Structure 1
Amino acid sequence: MILAFNKPMNVLSQFTDEGKWPGLKHHIDVPNVYAAGRLDRDSEGLLILTDNGKAQARITDPRSRTPKTYFALVEGTPEEAALEALRGGVTLKDGVTRPAEVAQVAAPDWIWPRDPPVRVRKTVPDAWLRLTITEGRNRQVRRMCANVGLPVLRLIRWSVGDWTLDGLAPGQWRQL
């Protein structure tokens, strides 16, 4: 069994609660499924869950190069040099990232209001990027964007492989 879940902001990618942060058990009442990969507490979007260990390994193994597409609201105006750096791979503390597919895009028309709202500064512009990576390092998209001078204000994973968030509201799940 494979489930797609639209993980809301401030929900952990595990079934147990931790301190003030709720786990998946508040949204998913399906026994014996586990997250195939993670999304940080402060990230939103598609989380794949499965009861199949081989499927979980295939989805999360960096050697499988499963593409993951994110929409990131970044602080600042992306310059072409920053986008090219992301496309070529950037050097982080844990090594050089694989090249990413990156484009500046309009705000997605499917976006939902975030709770809590994104901090917006009237004197600092922001922009949306669509990024596709084939790794899954800890906080990778945030660290890559920060590395090129574009701190992430909001991060939503849209897809994992061929699976997307299409039609899933925050906190909802469906069987794939």
Structure 2
Amino acid sequence: MSLPHSPATVNDQYATGRALPHAAQDRWMRPYRPGPWRVATAALALMLAAYLLLAALIMALAGGASGAVAVLLAALVVIAATLRLLRMGVWLSGKGVRQVGYFGTITVPWARVASVRTAQQPVKVLGLPRTVQGQALLVTRRGGQSLRALLTDHNADFLGRIEAFDIAADAIESWATELR
């Protein structure tokens, strides 16, 4: 018989992907899993990096040191870019909401958040210039300034997964309601 708060029970609760009600809210966590478009792009980029690393090894063994170094650096750039791609998204903690983009990060403390809401508006498909009508999760700061849409139902994490978008948007809205 296991105890209600035994380590096995706690680990089983973490395995479900849901935050525990008593879990510390000091660490940054993503309230959703990366979507299939983001993961597939990262997998292809890492496969390219593996080929580049293999090419660098072959070039180094063949005696082309300068070419091997150049290809090795290219592989490291691809790996770093892929890790940044996987890090993109919305992260929450007890301190605030953090929107991690490819080239920058914006953090807004919960005390400065005026509202978090879902709205119907034109959204970009996979971040490309083409827009379609969709849903976006919007954060408005105190003073009326708003961030760019935190999540959309057509971004790399939620394209084709409307239910996952709804669950993530509800989770972020409930964090905002609880911690503002």
Which TM class, normalised by the smaller chain length?
under 0.3
Tell me: higher relative CO, structure 1 or 2? Use CA pairs within 8 A at least 6 residues apart.
1
Q: TM-score when scaled to structure 1? A: 0.18
Which has a greater percent of strand? Answer: 1
Select the structure of larger CA radius of gyration.
Answer: 2
Query: As a proportion of its length, which structure holds more helix?
Result: 2
Structure 2 length normalisation: TM-score?
Answer: 0.18
